[in-house]
Amino acid sequence: MSLPLLLVSITLIFLVFKLYKGIRFKLPPGPYPWPILGNLAHIKPVGCRNFNEWSQIYGPIMSVWYGSDLSIVVLNSKLAKQVLKDNDHQLASRPRRSLTAKVVKDGKDLIWADYGPHYVKVRKVCTMELFSPKSIEALRPIREDEVRAMVESIFKDCTNPEGYGKSLMVRKYLGSVAFNNITRLVFGERFENEGVMDQHGLEFKAIVEQERKVGQSLIIAHSIKLLGWISWLKKGEIAKHLAHKDAFTRTIMEKHIQSCNKSGKHFVDTLLTLRERDELSEDTIMGLLGDMITAGMDTIAIVAEWAMAELIKNPRVQQKAQDELDRVIGPNRVMTESDLSSLTYLQCIAKEALRLHPPTPLMLPHLADADVKIGGYDIPKGSHVQVNVWAIGRDPKVWKDPLEFRPERFLEEDVDIKGHDFRLLPFGAGRRMCPAAQLSINLVMSILGHLLHHFHWDPPGGVQLEEIDMFESPGLVTYMRTPLQAVPRIRLSPNLYKREGVCD
């Protein structure tokens, strides 16, 4: 068959398929899809902004075609409630294809598991064991130690004669605290000391970076089924990466097995202790450990960087937060996580940062296990459903002056952040809500509190506040497009900047 005839045939098949869908179902409106590509040629790199723009034309629920896959995007809190609560049971699974399934242990983890007995079991392990209040408290010294290490590192760099008065790249320090914190919580290993990464740390960072590249290479191939050969060509490369990742994780597991650590202090110890009682396979344990790394490494640094950018752009808010810290903590000691409940304005700052800058602005896709209705429209079985958390947090119908960074709004109204109020969904809601929400909130607030208590922050010399780039980079998670540069000035006695260190 000649190429032109093949393209004509494909186009006819696509049009017949779309006509069938249009006759059988009342789909939400959306941009007209091209054959093969669907709407991929129309989607801009930062999807959350793109879909928010399209909502001005098509409304708060729309059909978007990723190749031949239908995705329904919702952009307001009422529709989000219908997705995440009213129809939660039918929309609680995840879409997977063959090669993606291998990357995510064929859904034997938590994040990409289908909703069913396995998902219920591993989620219970997460909520009752890994992220229980008791577990979060037991691991508090590690989190506090890593935040103190970050403060010490910034102090050394900004008081060094060569660096005095110069701007620092804030992301460098936030990335370090997030990396060291997650490897210690998950593996009980600190791969970085005195700013130098050891060989295991370099190997692990390379694995994480390769994981990102693998994920990106699969997105296009899975969006356009006819380009599945991309996955086939990369099959060997992906298999090599997965073998390397599994070998690295298995080595750490074996180390913990041989140490006979029954305390369950770190995530790997807890899972190894529970493997017989809860019938956790090796794939499930490695999948869960991978989930913790994937979900925890970028998101903490992303939220903290966006929050610091807003605090530098809004000196009034920064000063008000420091006034609260000075009143509650004082100048003679450092804050701890036990102080967080007394730092009401700091809590509001964290909420406001998450409202404007959720680290995952488009929720991971939900898979419709049955035909359902959302907003009066049909959502056919097999469709993907995404909630635009970024757009909901900026909806002028539910937020006054939505683009203004004003933490006081949460003093005027107590808005739940953990899935009960559908106006604010940084951790999702329903059966798929992030089980580590409280751990993430504690760490973000601790980072922000220490940064503000120990330092005053200004933009680099010659940079006006309005010149700070507040646009997102493309991706499933959205770092600032331009890494934040800022000038720190110490606020406390030098003896309060030293890390004391704790044993794992």
> Which residues are known binding-site members for heme?
434
Give the residue numbers of the binding site.
434
**C-alpha span between 59 and 10 (Å, rounded):** 30
DSSP 8-state class, residue 32:
P
Which residues, in sequence order, are bridge partners of residue 193? 196
Contacts of 217 by beta carbon, 8 Å cutoff, 6+ apart: 230, 231, 234
Contacts of 141 by beta carbon, 8 Å cutoff, 6+ apart: 502
- Contact yes or no for 435/429 (Cβ under 8 A): no
**C-alpha span between 488 and 329 (Å, rounded):** 20
Residue 201's identity, in one-letter code, is G
DSSP 8-state class, residue 365:
P
**C-alpha span between 311 and 444 (Å, rounded):** 14
Residue 352 is encoded by which pair of tokens?
Answer: 């406001």
- Of 123, 69, 55, 126, nearest to 92 by C-alpha is 123
- Contact yes or no for 113/94 (Cβ under 8 A): yes
Q: Rounded to the nearest 5 degrees, what angle is found at the Cα of 144, between the Cα atoms of 203 and 318?
A: 110
Residue 74's identity, in one-letter code, is V
**C-alpha span between 350 and 342 (Å, rounded):** 14
Beta strands across the sheet bearing 168-169: 168-169, 485-490, 455-458
- Contact yes or no for 380/368 (Cβ under 8 A): yes
**C-alpha span between 185 and 189 (Å, rounded):** 8
Sign of the Cα pseudo-torsion (94, 98, 102, 108, in order): positive
